[in-house]
Amino acid sequence: MLGCADGWLAYSISDDGVRALQLDGGNAWFKLQNGRFLCDVRQEWSSVFTWEFQALNNQGLTPQQAMDKEFAEKGIPVDLRPQLVGDGPAAG
C-alpha cells in the first residue's frame, strides 16, 4: 500500500502480480480504490501512471503537474495526491 486518505486507497502491483491478474501495462500504474474493498480495474479512476511514467508526459509539465492533471481528469481529488502517492520526484 502506498497511502490512504478520505476513503481512497493507493497501491502498486509487482510484475508478477500484474501477470497473475492478467492486466496490461506492467508496473506503469498505481492502482486506486474508492471506498470499496475490491478494486474494479475497469473503472477509469482505478489507475494512474506511476511517477516514472508521469515524468515522460511530453507535455512540458512537471511529474507533479502531470499527476495532478491525471487525478483531475479521472475525478480523483487532487488534494489527496500527496497522501495517496506521495510528492513524486524532486523537480529537476
pLDDT in tens, 4-58: 888 888 888 777 877 777 766 556 667 777 765 556 666 677 788 899 999 998 8
Judge whether 20 lies within some domain: yes
What residue numbers bound the domain in which 24 lies? Answer: 3-85
Judge whether 81 lies within some domain: yes
Judge whether 74 lies within some domain: yes
Q: How many domains does the chain have?
A: 1
The yes-or-no verdict on residue 66 having pLDDT over 60 is: yes
Does 43 or 90 have the greater pLDDT score? 90
Judge whether 28 lies within some domain: yes
Q: Give the H or E element holding residue 7.
A: none
Which backbone phi and psi does 44 adopt, to 5 degrees? -55, -40
Judge whether 70 lies within some domain: yes
